[in-house]
Amino acid sequence: MAKIVVTFNGLVQQELTITKSRLTIGRRPSNDVVIDHLTVSGQHAAVDTSSNGSFVLDLGSTNGTMVNGQPVKKHLLQHDDIIDIGKYKLRFQVEAKGTTPALSPAEVKEQPTVKASAIAVAKIKVLNGANSGKEMVLSKPVTTLGKPGHQVVAITRQDNRYVIRQVEGSVISKLNDKPIDPQASPLTNGDIVDVAGIQVQFVFM
């Protein structure tokens, strides 16, 4: 279960557990998260949650919405992401299991090995750049790769298979040198994903 923690000047103003598919944020009293500040639009943003994860969407606000310092229109949220709305900061937190942090080209890090289970777990291996050779186990339901605000893909585990789709960016990422299908493309062992200048190999035995 996820929640939003609202802070202003470092002080917690409110906490709200996400219990429905759309949570609205804005200055109007009808919003789920009400932020009474002139820098915040009446209906500023929303957090949409489904089986694919939680996405923050800017609702055409005057001053825009940012995630981790990057302006966004739609962004797949990860544990501890910071949403900037006006002068307020909203921290997205996933309780208990959490989610895999988004990876920028310079921030692909090795993850601890997960215990074997009935469901096979895949991993990705970085093929170029400063992190070439590093591997990451895809132990979470959704893993994002790329550069937030520029080009991001999401790898989703569905039972005993994995699919990939693009969630951010106008430049389409590639799967085996072909554009990724907007509706999600299935991944097989050995597939090469090219996103934001970084190539990774999908390994699923």
Instruction: Give the DSSP letter of residue 171.
Output: S
Is the pTM here over 0.75, yes or no?
Answer: no
Cα three-residue angle 179-182-188, rounded to 5 degrees: 65
Q: Are strands 33-34 and 22-26 parallel, antiparallel or unpaired?
A: parallel
Output the pLDDT for position 94.
85
pLDDT tens digit at each of 205 positions of the chain: 788 988 888 888 888 888 889 999 999 999 988 888 888 999 999 999 988 889 999 999 999 999 998 999 999 998 889 999 988 999 998 875 434 444 444 444 444 444 444 456 788 898 988 888 888 888 777 788 888 777 888 888 877 788 888 888 788 889 999 988 777 888 999 999 998 888 999 988 6
| Residue in this structure with the two tokens 């520029």, named with its chain if needed | 150
Query: Please, what is the end-to-end C-alpha distance for the chain in angstroms?
Result: 30
Contact 182, 195 (CB under 8 A): no
The Cα 187–Cα 28 span in angstroms is 43
